[in-house]
Every structure is written in C-alpha cells, then in structure tokens.
Amino acid sequence: MKFLFGGPNNDLLIKLNFYKILLSNRKEYMKKTKIVLLIFISILFVRCSVQRQDQSKDKKSKEENAKLHPDLQRHEGVLVNKKVNGYNGIWYMNQPLDNEYKFKYSGGLATYTAKHNPIAIYRKEVNKTFFCYGGTDAENSTLHHMVSYYDHETGEIPKPTLVLDKNTIDAHDNPIISIDKDGYIYLFSTSHGTSRPSYVHRSRKPYDIKSFEVVEANKLDNGKKVPLDNFSYMQTWNVPDKGFVSFFTRYNYPADRTICFMTSPDGKNWSEWKRIAAIKKGHYQISAVGNNVVGSAFNFHPDTKEKNGLNWRTNLYYVESSDFGETWRAADGTSLSLPLTSIENAGLVYDYYDEDLNVYMKDITYDNENRPVILFITSKGFEAGPQNGPRTWRTARWNGTDWEINDITTSDNNYDMGSLYIDEKGSWRLIAPTEVGPQPYNPGGEIALWQSNDQGKSWEMVKQMTNDSPYNHTYARRPVNAHPDFYAIWADGHGRMSSESRLFISDRDGNVSMLPQTMKSKKVKLK
C-alpha cells in the first residue's frame, strides 16, 4: 500500500513522470527547433537566390546600359559643390557621318542648346552677371554643371563652382540658370530624354555661388504631388511678382518630342504640365518673356515615309499667353486650344514644309512694342556639307497685322547659333558665328556682330569679333537683361575631332575676352 500511496517509491514515480514529461517536452522542443531551422534555412536560401538574381539582373542591366549609346545611358548625378581652377567646356558630337565633316554637329558645346535658357542673367542689385555652362574634366569624360559670375564693379571673375557631376558626356544635359526675386540662384539640370534623372538645385545664400542644395521639386499630376525628376530642353524664366514659368520638352507625351509649359511660385512646387503642341513627331521650341506676355516659337517633325523624325524639322509657329499660361492665343489674338495637333493652325507663322526647307530655331525676343521677333535658320537638309546650303539666317517679326520675314545673311551649318538683341532705341543686333571658321561646314565659325536700324529689313556686319581662330566658335548666348560689358557668352572647339573647349565673353561693342583655363588665384581680372 505504501508503494501505491506514499513512501519513497512514490517519490521515484513522481521523478520518473517528471523526466518523462521533460523528455517529451524536449522532443517537442527539438521538433519545433528543427521546423524553425528549416524555415530559417529556406528563407535564407530564397533571399540568397533572390539576391543572386538581383545581382545578375543588376549586372545584366549594367552590361545592357554600357551597350547603349552614351546619350541613352542612365547614370545618377552627384552633388559636388567645389571650386575648379579654371574654365573649360565640354566637347560633344552627335550622329557620325560618312564624309569629311565627320558629324551632323559637334564642337565645343558648353553653352548648347538654343533650347536651353537662360544661360546668363544680369542682376543690378549686386551688379553681377551670373552664368552657367557645361564643363568637363581633363579627359572630357563627364559633364560638369558649372556656375560663376562676372563682377561689373571690379571686372573680375572667381573660380567657377562645380555644382553637379551629371555622369554623362551628353551636352543635351547642360544646365540652365534662373534667379528668384530674393536673389537665390537656381540651377536646372536637364536630361536628354527619359533615361536619366533631372535635378533642381538652389544656392544656399542669395547671390552666392559657393554652395548649392538639392530642391525636392514636385509637380501636380491629376491633383497629386509627384516628383519633378525629368525634363528636357528646359527654359525657366522668373517673372516679377508671379514666380517661375518653364517651357520644356517631354518625350513620348504622346509625340516623340512634346513641348510643354508649367509654372511655380517658388521653384519647388510646380503646376500640372500643359501640353503646348504635339503635331506628328513633335517639336523643338524656344521661348521668351515680354511685358505681361510669355511666348513660344517652334517647328515640327513630319512623319511621312520620306521625311520622318528629328532630322526633318520644318514650319514656323508662335503661341503666347498673357495670363501666366491659363489661356493661349496666336499673335493676332486668335484663341488657341492646346495642345496643337494639326499642321495647319492659327499659330502658323510660315509654311516651310511646302518649300521643302528645314527650320532650325535659334532665338526669340520682344521688341519695344512688345511684339515677338523670332530668329531662325532654314536649309535644305540635316547633313553637314555644302550640298544642303544655303543656311539662311532669318527673322520673323509680328508687326501688329502680319508676320514680316527678312533674311540677314548665310552661314555653313544648321547648328550655327547666335542671339538677337533689341535695345531701347530700337536698334537690332545679332552676335553669331556667321563667318567661315577653321573647320568649314561644321558648327560655328568666326563670330560677327551684325546690326539693323530698320527692324530687320536690312543688315550690316559691323565687326568680325574673332579672327584666325584654331577652333570654331559657336552658341553665342544672350544674357537676361544683358549688361553692355557682358553681352554674350560662348565656347569654341574643333569641329571634327575631340579637343579642348574654351569659353569667351564679349561686350556690346564686340570686344572679346577669353575666360582663363587655369587659375592660381581666387579671382582674375579679365583683359
């Protein structure tokens, strides 16, 4: 009975039951542990497998990216913010040709394109002209977004600031500059197409180029804020008491090059995009701001079997708005419904399609009556060489009733680019590479100063500004509110092979100064 109900044997039974339970729990524990380990190993295997796949995809993506044309490769830009010991521009070429001229266009393209604006801005508050350009390293292996200024009080320039390494050699990604009412300097870093991101940077202090910070820009899309991280051929103007207006291109939206418009009160928060035109394969546009008016001039790309896409561009159009982009009209006041999608529309300035001529947009400004004046070149084809000449420089001016179109001169390449100036007395000036350079039929040449005193009806070359140059000069750009001492900025470069590229400025009278390629001191007085 003691064995069953008490005594030492009962203690033994309790111990045996305890160990039995413990052993059972341990087996259960081991079983659960094995399950957990199996799950962990399975997860680890899956993660490693996914990681290997991701690495393989990443490697494949990088390999595929490397196979792309450099203009199409995707790379992130890098904020740098450091001083550089001199002024050197990017050399760039596009579309090799099987002839002696080598490329469709090429050369020192630090101030390229005509559809990038502004490049320079004069601010009387500090008596300085601020400017940007596409720079590079010693090997011309990457595009640097550079900012600097010219001090009109001292005649000096500082070492330029390298704001962003764009990680491409495509000069279509060149920067543009804008300045708000408080003096903050904005740098808009454009992109060629949609393969690379675009950026907005702002100076940390007003009128100060030492350091820039990223602006997390956004735009409205169906009423929601989304990142503003891709734009091409950007043209951003600051309008007093209103903010910024931007004309730009969006690829495949739906045309290959759809031209658009947007506004912002502060450079960070942008409106919904408004399509201006999407005719056939799209457009190249140039823009300007007048007295209570903003306007865009553009061509279009046909889509016929014989002429299809970017190498064919023709016709001349103009549209404008006097209410910050809410409504649009033609020069004669005819109301327009945007986007324009038909070749024939009220914004048509002149039909060059029927004349079988290409149209290359160069510049646009407003005269003293606040009427648009457009500068452009016409030619017979896209390829470099004499067979597509003459390349005729023309102006189209709205006289209040009709468009007056007049010839200025001729040059030898479609991508010769200069700027039009109209002063307070009504005198018109053109600074452009109209004279034959050391590499004939390649973009640029020798820079000349032309003048008209009858609203473009007749022109006289006042001065050839450059002579006996080793390289072609091109893309002479007009600053906003140009000061007489800093009237134009451009770069040079060899037209048929990679070379150094130097930067130049000129005054109103056509006197030229080269910016120093190397600087030992913080500032240099220009000669």
Token digits of residue 389: 């000449």
* More confidently predicted of 31 and 90: 90
Q: Is the pLDDT of residue 5 over 50?
A: no
pLDDT score of 310 = 87
Q: Tens digits of per-residue pLDDT, 144-173?
A: 999 999 999 999 999 999 999 999 999 999
pLDDT score of 64 = 57
pLDDT score of 42 = 60
pLDDT score of 39 = 64
* More confidently predicted of 49 and 138: 138
Q: Is the pLDDT of residue 292 over 70?
A: yes
Q: Give the mean model confidence (pLDDT) for residues 297-311.
A: 94
pLDDT score of 4 = 39
Q: Is the pLDDT of residue 57 over 70?
A: no
Q: What percent of the chain has pLDDT over 90?
A: 84
Strands 218-221 and 269-270, how do they pair?
Answer: parallel
Q: Give the pLDDT band of residue 434 (cuts 50, 70, 90).
A: very high
d(CA 369, CA 55): 62
Q: How far is CA 130 from CA 150, 186, 303, in A?
A: 7, 11, 41
pLDDT score of 502 = 99
Buried b (16+ CB within 10 A) or exposed e, 13-47: eeeeeeeeeeeeeeeeeeeeeeeeeeeeeeeeeee
Q: Is the pLDDT of residue 425 over 80?
A: yes
Which amino acid, 50? V
Domain ranges of the chain: 2-66, 68-525
Q: Give the pLDDT band of residue 3 (cuts 50, 70, 90).
A: very low
Q: Taking the alpha carbons of 303, 372, 125, 427 in that order, is the dihedral positive or negative?
A: positive
Q: Give the pLDDT band of residue 246 (cuts 50, 70, 90).
A: very high
* More confidently predicted of 424 and 28: 424
Superfamily covering domain 68-525 = YVTN repeat-like/Quinoprotein amine dehydrogenase (2.130.10.10)
Q: Give the pLDDT band of residue 527 (cuts 50, 70, 90).
A: confident
Under 8 Å between Cβ of 103 and 93: yes
Q: How far is CA 318 from CA 173, 288, 336, in A?
A: 25, 11, 11
pLDDT score of 74 = 66
> Helix, strand or coil for residue 94?
strand
d(CA 301, CA 353): 10
